[in-house]
Structure 1
Amino acid sequence: MTKAPLALTLGDPAGIGPELTVSAWEILKNTEHCFFWLGDPTLLDGVIPTQLISAPEEAAGVFATALPVLPIYCPVTIVPGQPTPSNAPAVIESIRKAVELALTGSASGVVTNPIAKHILAESGFPHPGHTEFLAQLCSVSGQEIMMLASPELRVVPVSIHVSLQNAIHSLTAERIITVTRIANKALTQDFGLKNPKLAIAGLNPHAGESGLMGHEEHSIIIPAINALKEEGIDAQGPYPPDTMFAAHARTQYDAAICMYHDQGLIPLKTLDMTQGVNITLGLPIVRTSPDHGTAFDIAQPLSAPSKKADARSLVAAIRTASKMAHNRKEKAL
């Protein structure tokens, strides 16, 4: 191995994360995309070959024949489909440890299995999701940006886990500029694009229709685009959100900067839910995640898996993180 392995977190142990982890290892075990799992090894007893490790550097030597597991034990018996806040400390510790290993370079990046935000909240977890917790762990709170990527489309929402009303009220030219700068840097540093093209979405129907359907395009979005152009960033728009995601339109840009969460995530998930990857930009580490939740309704014991859990998004997240880590390393040389 020429780079450190990836750290894959536990996720909610009562969800489909453990089943996806097993499937991902079976798919990738003979490839260069080496990872280790920070999870409870008792979940995998008799399911696939596993090897307990004490440090990430041990993973590469066993990956082809066994899933490397850096053990983090759950305090309460795990019942698939029945999450409990009592296991939240293990879920949180898995994320914390993975980030620590990535920050020190022992892991080349972090891939997170799905968590249940409401279950963590019941345990006292103060963050609205993975993204904000990762930013705190990396000491860059406020700089975290979410990108959703698939083979069909990349989207970057200006606001993330806030209400639509708050997203509109908090929209500023400065925020659009910050998000677009970070996205542009990521596309060059992590995706290897020399001159990224960024499409900026309008907020209102028809991108405001010259002020007839809203003023934000002229008062906020266009000034942000002009400022970005002055910096040498290829930002164009604002484009009407109801047409900019059409097939031909998508060929004209490398990523869409969207004014709020669902404006970008609805088209991406409609186009390709199975291979969508959640990527956190603005961190000093690589972080990806599958673009779906815990799916408690189909979670089954690993001794009798449901076979309904689709591992393609997790596999895509692992492959994407591996490629991003490679590109980032090459860019640094």
Structure 2
Amino acid sequence: MDRNAKVAVTLGDPAGVGPEVIVKALAALPREERRDFVIVGNVEALERADRVTGTGLRFGPADAPGDDRIAVDEVALGAALPEIGRVSPIAGDASVRYITRAVDLAMSGQADVIVTAPINKEAMNLAGHHHDGHTGLLAHLTGSKSSFMLLASERLNTIHVSTHISLKGAIERAKTERVLATIEAGHRHFLRLGKTARIAVAGLNPHCGENGLFGTEDTEFLAPAVEQARAKGIDVVGPISADTVFARAYNGAFDLVIAQYHDQGHIPIKLVAFDTAVNVSLGLPIDRVSVDHGTAFDIAGTGRANHVNMLSAIAYARLMARSPRREV
């Protein structure tokens, strides 16, 4: 990563494990590299996490003179720090405030990439922020029509046509225009990273519908999207039955699989790369990478939360920070 590149890390839900995995991940990095980070959150929450993890880090204002303290862009909560391990509208509102501030930093050029710690959707909605999670909130904050969720790991990558909607809604969304846009988003991302991706489109129905026996969506909507993408010079095939395409990709046949809905893409990724896969938002005017786990209220405050996934998210964010955006 370029020394001048700045990574803004949001605290996530302050009642969850986000603060703990952040301090543990930063403590694992060389001291000189910590200067590239600014934590968007609260010093009080970070100090609480430091006490339970024993990292020995110090924190200070982002605009303070340089020393060995971790820079924190303090976001006012308007209330006392919420209790650890409980769903709270105060924590839900705080998590949205952190993300909003980080987006401001990225949109203004003060941060090159955002890394987000986990939020709790119930807490966020209790606070009056009615979004499906990070993906919808980021699209709203950046004025984007939509965004795409890419799950990235060493041997398997998936990008989703739809994410946090019902299965019935996901089926309705798997139309040619959206599938094509998802293919193009994945293609652009891999070009940005210096590679022409071999892309496979997963089928929606069992065995891609068996020529209409189990549904017509694969031939009616997915196949035309593949044809149109190929006409644009994109290396894509499909639809391929979902019960085989992920194994083929894992074994090296494809670089990216287009998953038609949330669980279709999440289950194989979490099976093979539970601790290391990261969530990347595509289609936004800013860059954002996230851990691919939740707030883990059951172990929050114990210091036991694993920070390996946060380290993976940081590494991927660094990769994006040194890779310029490209168009198809």
TM-score, reference length from structure 2: 0.91
Whether the aligned pair in 2 keeps the contact of 1:155 and 1:264 (CA below 8 Å) is: yes
TM superposition shift of 1:208? 1.9
1:123 aligns with 2:131: no
Distance of 1:248 and 1:73 partners within structure 2:
45
Letter of the 1:260 partner, please give it.
Answer: Y
Which residue of structure 1 lines up, in the alignment, with residue 85 of structure 2? 81
Using the aligned pairs only, state the percent identity.
37
Letter of the 1:72 partner, please give it.
Answer: V
Which residue of structure 2 lines up, in the alignment, with residue 140 of structure 1? 144
Distance of 2:204 and 2:46 partners within structure 1:
47
CA deviation digits over 1:20-64, x for unaligned, max 9? 011011112446473221111112336433232244xx69x44xx
TM superposition shift of 1:248? 6.4
Which residue of structure 1 lines up, in the alignment, with residue 315 of structure 2? 319
CA deviation digits over 1:170-189, x for unaligned, max 9? 22111111111111111111
Distance of 2:185 and 2:249 partners within structure 1:
26
CA deviation digits over 1:200-225, x for unaligned, max 9? 11111112223322211211111111
CA deviation digits over 1:223-245, x for unaligned, max 9? 11111100111111111111112
Q: Which runs of 4+ in 1 moved over 3 A?
A: 29-33, 44-47, 247-250
Which residue of structure 2 lines up, in the alignment, with residue 152 of structure 1? 155
Whether the aligned pair in 1 keeps the contact of 2:156 and 2:249 (CA below 8 Å) is: no
The 3-state SS of whatever aligns with 2:324 is helix
Which residue of structure 2 lines up, in the alignment, with residue 40 of structure 1? 42
1:101 aligns with 2:98: no
Structure-2 change in CA distance of 1:89 and 1:249 (3 Å): closer
1:51 aligns with 2:55: no
Whether the aligned pair in 1 keeps the contact of 2:75 and 2:98 (CA below 8 Å) is: yes
Whether the aligned pair in 2 keeps the contact of 1:76 and 1:87 (CA below 8 Å) is: no
The 3-state SS of whatever aligns with 1:246 is helix
Which residue of structure 1 lines up, in the alignment, with residue 303 of structure 2? 306
1:69 aligns with 2:72: yes
Distance of 1:248 and 1:110 partners within structure 2:
28
For structure 1, which runs of at least 5 residues remain unmatched after alignment?
A: none
Which residue of structure 2 lines up, in the alignment, with residue 218 of structure 1? 219
Return 75-84 or 94-103, whichever deviates more. Answer: 75-84
Whether the aligned pair in 2 keeps the contact of 1:3 and 1:108 (CA below 8 Å) is: no
Distance of 2:167 and 2:218 partners within structure 1:
17
CA deviation digits over 1:129-153, x for unaligned, max 9? 11111111111132x1110111121
For structure 2, which runs of at least 5 residues remain unmatched after alignment?
A: none
Letter of the 2:103 partner, please give it.
Answer: V
Whether the aligned pair in 2 keeps the contact of 1:41 and 1:71 (CA below 8 Å) is: yes
Whether the aligned pair in 2 keeps the contact of 1:197 and 1:253 (CA below 8 Å) is: yes
Whether the aligned pair in 2 keeps the contact of 1:24 and 1:315 (CA below 8 Å) is: yes
The 3-state SS of whatever aligns with 1:221 is helix
Distance of 2:109 and 2:274 partners within structure 1:
31
Return 127-136 or 26-35, whichever deviates more. Answer: 26-35
Give the alignment of 1:197-236 within 5 angstroms: 197-236=198-237
Which residue of structure 1 lines up, in the alignment, with residue 286 of structure 2? 285
The 3-state SS of whatever aligns with 1:297 is coil
Return 218-227 or 43-52, whichever deviates more. Answer: 43-52
Which residue of structure 1 lines up, in the alignment, with residue 179 of structure 2? 176
TM superposition shift of 1:123? 1.1
**Number of residue equivalences:** 318
Which residue of structure 1 lines up, in the alignment, with residue 95 of structure 2? 91
